[in-house]
């Protein structure tokens, strides 16, 4: 079975779209970066390097230092599919990120987006 084309797409190609979506709703690039780093465990410097290196999505998630265990708390629909029902691990990680950026653009508080215990 061939890989989905998003896997070979550069994260750097999609990242500006995440930022634009957030900024259109008066959110910031720093908030997008905070979400990406929370999800993947990358530091800001590591994230910047991944973007500069044009790393593809599959490698971006495979090389992530520490995927946040709280990501399993991310629920809901993105692109018409429930993220918690996606079986393929890399696609699920991509959709988790999509869902978090959607929540940011919808004005949700960062504590809720990042699933901090005191936000419940």
Please tell me the predicted confidence (pLDDT) of residue 2.
58
- In degrees and rounded to multiples of 5, residue 81 shows phi and psi of -125, 135
Q: What is the pLDDT of residues 30-87, one digit of tens each?
A: 999 999 999 999 999 999 999 999 999 999 999 999 999 999 999 999 888 899 999 9
Inter-residue contact 28 to 17 (CB < 8 Å): no
Report pLDDT for 58.
94
pTM: 0.91
- Maximum separation of any 2 CA atoms in the chain, in Å: 43
């Amino acid at each position: 079975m061939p890989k989905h084309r998003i896997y070979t797409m550069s994260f750097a190609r999609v990242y500006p779209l995440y930022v634009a979506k957030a900024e259109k709703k008066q959110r910031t690039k720093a908030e997008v970066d905070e979400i990406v780093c929370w999800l993947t465990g990358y530091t800001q410097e590591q994230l910047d390097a991944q973007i500069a290196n044009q790393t593809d999505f599959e490698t971006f998630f495979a090389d992530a230092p520490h995927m946040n265990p709280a990501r399993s708390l991310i629920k809901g629909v993105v692109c018409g599919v429930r993220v918690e029902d996606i079986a393929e691990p890399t696609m699920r990680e991509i959709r988790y990120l999509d869902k978090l950026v959607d929540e940011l653009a919808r004005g949700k508080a960062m504590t809720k987006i990042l699933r901090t215990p005191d936000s419940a």
